Amino acid sequence: MTRLFNDPAAFADEALEGFTAAHRRWVRPVTGGVVRATATPAGQVAVVIGGGSGHYPAFSGLVGRGLAHGAAVGNVFASPSARQIHSVATAAHVGGGVLLMYGNYAGDVLHFGQAAERLAADGIETRTFAVADDISSAGPEESAKRRGIAGDLPVFKAAAAAAEQGLPLEEVLRVAERAGARTRSFGIAFSGCTLPGADHPLFTVPEARMAVGLGIHGEPGIGEEALPTADEAARLLVETLLKELPEDVADPAGQRAAVILNGLGSVKYEELFVVYRRVAALLGDAGVEIVDPEVGELVTSFDMAGISLTLTWLDDRLEELWRAPADTPAYRKGALDGAEPDLDRAPVTAAAQDTAVPAAPVVPAASDASRRAAGTVLAALDAVARVVDAHADELGRIDAVAGDGDHGIGMRRGSTAAHRAAADAHGLGAGAGTVLTRAADAWADKAGGTSGALWGTILRSLGTALGDREAPDAARVAEGVTEASAAVRRLGGAEVGDKTMVDVLVPFADALAAATGEGLPLADAWDRAATTATAAAAGTADLLPRRGRARPHAEKSLGTPDAGAHSLALITRAVHGALLDHH
């Protein structure tokens, strides 16, 4: 468990602050993460990596010459927000474009994709690449759905080394694609991890058993087996990975591979070496030439007791990039000429980097009617924050059945930040639309993860529909909810039946539109739609998840509602109470 912390909500920020204070030779802080402290040659492609906290040395520890130019750092097990990623990438960019790289998790895909759009709008050429190396999370025929675990490192390094050689953006991306296609990982765990402030781990493993095929966000394994000896664990890892070779590798014999035996947090280095001695022997027996192996903690999961094995099958070009020197706080290889920190570059603030966040506390002009409506919006957001806070532990327990258990934490962070931003905007005389859009940005920024991106989209869609000029009537609110439903489906790709919040959002939007179409006042129409939402959320207990982190553990989630669907239903009912109070 995590024993040393202050406020659990501030843990990730305080850890990053301490990290940068300890490693000023390599990194400097910027809003949203860190960038290299040393100068980067003008015109070089900037490789910007990122993900949630709790995985050190990924991601901040991999910033430095020969590896990443910057890292966007989200909250514990939550992807950084689009704003954070945009901030870090802007600070790291030196004219050659940006390659955003991250593990293949829904929240990361959403936020990095949105950041890429913002960077492109700024005139910065940007590409994205998601590492998908975990063979336990999807079969070969669905390899694009696999999540990223310790395979992040060799893929990040290949791309970054190519960038150091001065290759243009498209060629750096092709290197990343080549390395990703040739990287496979598989892991096992003996106990789950416990988040700061939590009193129990995200999952448990029975005595004398191990979980097989785990994720790095505290997700349980896809199965359980008897606790092995070190040699038996090595054999399971090696044999599992040798069963799935890249398409252009017919036989492991005669092949070269970069090998990473990764500790996930609580397995000691001596234990890793005991396992690696057998890993090396088994790969040697299979005819595999091991190139520059790494044994240690490279991508962790807080204090999870577990290990993973990664193989990147090398060709001449990938071997050159894997062997290339690197100098970062947590990963060093070979020798580079000394470089002093670039003291001329002052830390860059979000206000200077992100035009989506105003540099001064001003709001657009609004009508009196819209400002009055903004009071109702603020009351609704207050109700949202209160109901989320009251149910945060329950939401976390539901999410932990087949996911990583952080839904309640993320929703609490997001809803609290949204209410605070809305209150600030309302105090400045903002209209309903601006209050909602400020709340949307704050929710997405502070929550991160999939829920942060989706709730940011929901509030922004509502804000756009309401605007700042007219008094929003029931029809306009329903129109905004309908657009929010469509926008969430476009952004996340989920549809009804996938066991996500969409299973509640779509019927809620449809019911609200139908009720307002009949001429019902907003409070009455919302009441009817909230009842529909509650029933729809309960119905997700009978569904198997087809998207997101819960998908590999589909059977475990039967009988339990989707956490995102349940939280949405709770919110719709809480908002109804606020509408009644401000009728």
> CA 21 → CA 5, 6, 17, 364, distances in Å?
17, 18, 6, 39
Q: How far apart are CA 564 and CA 482, in angstroms?
A: 18
User: Tokens in use for 396?
Assistant: 């976390």
Task: Give the pTM.
Answer: 0.86
- Comparing 134 with 201, which gets the higher pLDDT? 134
State yes or no: pLDDT of 513 exceeds 60.
Answer: yes
pLDDT band, very low/low/confident/very high, at 466 (cuts 50, 70, 90): very high
User: Tokens in use for 557?
Assistant: 């989630």
Which pLDDT score, from 0 to 100, does residue 351 have? 38
Share the mean pLDDT of the chain: 91
Which pLDDT score, from 0 to 100, does residue 204 have? 83
Mean pLDDT check: name the lowest of 50-59, 220-229, 304-313, 483-492.
220-229
Q: How far apart are CA 453 and CA 248, in angstroms?
A: 37
Coil, helix or strand at residue 100: strand
Which pLDDT score, from 0 to 100, does residue 360 have? 47
**How much is the average pLDDT of 99-106?**
95
Q: How far apart are CA 237 and CA 228, in angstroms?
A: 11
Closest by CA position to 110, among listed 140, 150, 83: 83
417-433: pLDDT as tens digits:
999 999 999 999 999 99
Closest by CA position to 237, among listed 254, 249, 246, 225: 225
Backbone angles phi, psi at 438, to 5 degrees: -65, -40
Q: What is the CA angle 32-33-34, rounded to 5? A: 140
- Comparing 558 with 176, which gets the higher pLDDT? 176
Q: Which residues pair with 73 in a beta bridge?
A: 51
**How much is the average pLDDT of 144-170?**
95
pLDDT band, very low/low/confident/very high, at 359 (cuts 50, 70, 90): very low
Which pLDDT score, from 0 to 100, does residue 198 have? 81
Residue tagged active-site, from 217, 407, 426, 576:
217
514-550: pLDDT as tens digits:
999 999 999 999 999 999 999 999 999 999 887 655 5
As a whole-number percent, the residues of the chain with pLDDT over 90 amount to 75
Helical H segments across 66-202, by residue range: 82-92, 106-121, 152-164, 169-181
Mean pLDDT check: name the lowest of 113-117, 344-348, 411-415.
344-348
**How much is the average pLDDT of 69-75?**
96
**How much is the average pLDDT of 394-398?**
90
Residue 111 is among the residues annotated as catalytic for this protein: no
As a whole-number percent, the residues of the chain with pLDDT over 70 amount to 93
Which pLDDT score, from 0 to 100, does residue 214 have? 79
pLDDT band, very low/low/confident/very high, at 199 (cuts 50, 70, 90): confident
Which pLDDT score, from 0 to 100, does residue 368 have? 96
Closest by CA position to 396, among listed 536, 201, 551, 558: 201
21-71: pLDDT as tens digits:
999 999 999 999 999 999 999 999 999 999 999 999 999 999 999 999 999
User: Tokens in use for 93?
Assistant: 């960019």
